[in-house]
Amino acid sequence: MQAINVSIGFDRRLWAQDLAGSKAHAAMLVAQGILSAADGALIQGGLDTIRAEIEAGTFPFRDRYEDIHMNVEARLAELIGDPSGRLHTARSRNDQVALDFRLWVRSACDHAMAQLKDLQHALLERAEAEAGTLMPGFTHLQPAQPVTFGHHLMAYVEMFGRDAGRFADARARMNECPLGAAALAGSPFPIDRHATAAALGFDRPTANSLDSVSDRDFALEALSAASITATHLSRLAEELVIWVTPQFGFVGLSDAFTTGSSIMPQKRNPDAAELIRAKTGRIFGALTSLTMVMKGLPLAYSKDMQEDKVPVFEAFDSLDLALAAMAGMVRDLTPDRARMAAAAASGFSTATDLADWLVRTLDMPFRRAHHVTGAAVKRAEQLGVDLPALPLSELQAIEAGITADVYQVLTPERSVASRISYGGTAPAEVRRQVSLWKERLSDDKA
């Protein structure tokens, strides 16, 4: 029973939140005349001593006290005696753990948002430097149209911006204080729940005592945001893995973010990126795990909910590492601009530009222009050349109205420069989007 019941091995991570909640609760009890000032002072002093012991690594965490709450309570009794027992007035472990866990998840969301902001800054710095660097844009991992490396990186700035927004939304919804709900029905003591909520940085107290002790939506929503963030990290990690292969050779990573082989001395493996992909599975698993724990529980508290913490802790540990590693790799990578430019010019990547030219210049319906362009690509393949090298006579044999002016749109440089629509890949538009994002991130509300 002790083996299955004890949780101090993992919930000791809630010690700071547990102490903060206890200090706020004790202060409120004194203010409401429920606890004497003398006892309140002893309790506050004892809690400060416990904090110092934990920070110094001398606190006696003991399995026989089951969880962090009972460990703190037992140590407080050893330090100050009987007055320690008055701290639990108008409080239950049910609302205590709900508070501690909510405080921890709120802090984890804040940390994730700060890390996302740092990653966005890293991407912005790189995107600004590479706003004019050509690379192939892909669909189905097949060359599609030329884009710029800066534009490609800015796509991830957008993704991670949405991720930060999801964490912010989750934080706003979870910022209600369950302390004072007691076991499930509230308290008969004249407590001031608004005071404890304000002291702990919450917007308001929770409005229903049953929901207060049984709600874990805040953790599920945070895990959902973490899972989507992990998806985006994994997509970028996958691209880095592809880009550093000799077959692509678009970017290089230093020894700081790669490892060698035990048998093949020439290898430089992108292990950090690969591990980010793998940690995504841990984060997805955490969301599934907690969803399964909660799906069949009646109100209010059940011991099943003790299983809420481990998946959340593991998920945010993994996310913390993944975000830090990705920001490091973005700052570390070295693009091979010549290699990317050569790839951008291959694979008939300016075929759409030819079709657009036919529409603009010859007033050709796009579907016919598409057909003409397809014929031009087929002829270029037969001759073993790319579109910019296809002779004018060959183009005119397909469509007599084509003139030498067409070659002005068939280079990758001209192609990307022409994509001036809002959010397009034109270097000037990329730099404009970089500036807009820098402004957003410089605002504390971003």
What predicted TM-score, i.e. pTM, was given to this entire model? 0.92
Contact (Cβ atoms closer than 8 angstroms) between residue 43 and residue 84:
yes
d(CA 290, CA 283): 11
Q: How many residues are recorded in the chain?
A: 446
Render each residue's pLDDT in the chain as its tens digit; 446 residues: 888 888 999 999 999 999 999 999 999 999 999 999 999 999 999 999 999 999 999 999 999 999 999 999 999 999 999 999 999 999 999 999 999 999 999 999 999 999 999 999 999 999 999 999 999 999 999 888 999 999 999 999 999 999 999 999 999 999 999 999 999 999 999 999 999 999 999 999 999 999 999 999 999 999 999 999 999 999 999 999 999 999 999 999 999 998 776 677 667 889 999 999 999 999 999 999 999 999 999 999 999 999 999 999 999 999 999 999 999 999 999 999 999 999 998 888 889 889 999 999 999 999 999 999 999 999 999 999 988 889 999 999 999 999 999 998 888 999 999 999 999 999 999 999 999 999 999 986 54
- Count Cβ neighbours within 10 Å for each residue of 98-119 and write b for 16 or more, e otherwise: bbbbbbbbbebbeebbebbbbb
Written as one letter, the residue type at 430 is V
d(CA 21, CA 179): 8
Please, which residues have CB within 8 angstroms of residue 69's CB and are 6 or more apart in sequence? 18, 93, 96, 97, 100
d(CA 179, CA 354): 66
Tell me which residues are annotated as active site: 140, 261
d(CA 85, CA 35): 11
